[in-house]
Amino acid sequence: MHIHKTTIRVRYADTDQMKFAYHPKYLEYFEVGRTEMMRDLGLPYKVIENNGYLMPLIASHLEYKKSAFYDELLEIETRVENLPVVKVHLDYIIRKVETKEIVVEGYTDLVFIKSKNNKITRAPKFFIDKFRPIFDKKD
């Protein structure tokens, strides 16, 4: 399993009339967690795209637990539990940094498509090679 953590502050533009983070923003927060995890592994989207692949989102699920308010600092935990081969399944937990309360839990599924023809394909070798050492570790 691979766990990555990053933080984000709830911006005023992320809130609604009720003063807390508007529910669709959490998918954007999931994306922040996902892109920062991949960047730390040496896989920013630019590298993936320059190698001829795209990663569209095919499924998402969110469970709202608590509200997050303007200016609160949130921790986004992104987990990969299995070596991504066909699709990339990521689990997320978003917590308030100050209280550790869970705000949202959920997941996203992404697939690989070749940018030349938009055909779904298996994860490319360069992608798997970045994850393999994580899953080959013996505890």
| H or E segment and range at residue 131 | helix 125-136
CATH of 2-136, picked from 3.40.50.2300, 3.40.50.1820, 3.10.129.10, 1.20.120.420, is: 3.10.129.10
Is 129 labeled as catalytic in the residue annotation? no
pTM of the predicted structure, to 2 decimals = 0.91
Measured torsion, CA atoms of residues 51, 44, 5, 136, in degrees rounded to the nearest 10: 30
What is the model's pLDDT at position 1?
87
* Residue 134 pLDDT level (bands cut at 50, 70, 90): confident
Confidence at residue 138, expressed as pLDDT on a 0 to 100 scale:
54
Q: Which member of 14, 16, 40, 136 is catalytic?
A: 16
